[in-house]
Amino acid sequence: MSPPEALSQAPAPSGERTVRPIPVLPVSLLLFTSGFCALVYQVAWLRLLRLVFGSSTAAQAAVVAIFMAGLGFGSLLLGRRADRSRSPLEL
């Protein structure tokens, strides 16, 4: 058996996509930063909506519903485009 490094360096037949290894540390940092920013936004919106709804379940439900809707719409808009992209990570 050959090591995984040798498999990724082998030339691909014409018409096939080559598989590049994903850099784990930069991707992990991007995901951590993205999740942290989402948490900061969620806390900020929750504090703002408490002024409108009060400290209630309705304020929390509105923030979570809007966040989940944003994830869904982002998936609809960019999901197919990412599947067609040569480098989804760069997209």
Tell me the pLDDT tens digit for each residue of 43-72: 888 888 888 877 778 778 888 888 889 889
**Average pLDDT of the residues in 58-87:** 85
Tokens of 57: 């379940």
Domain span including residue 73: 23-84
The verdict on residue 30 lying in a domain is yes
* Better pLDDT: 28 or 10: 28
Query: What percentage of the chain carries pLDDT values higher than 70?
Result: 78
The verdict on residue 57 lying in a domain is yes
Q: What rounded mean pLDDT belongs to the chain?
A: 78
The verdict on residue 7 lying in a domain is no
Instruction: Give 33's pLDDT tier (boundaries 50, 70, 90).
Output: very high
Domain count of the fold of the chain: 1
Check the CA dihedral 38-42-45-47 and report its sign. Answer: negative
pLDDT at 66: 86
d(CA 68, CA 50): 19
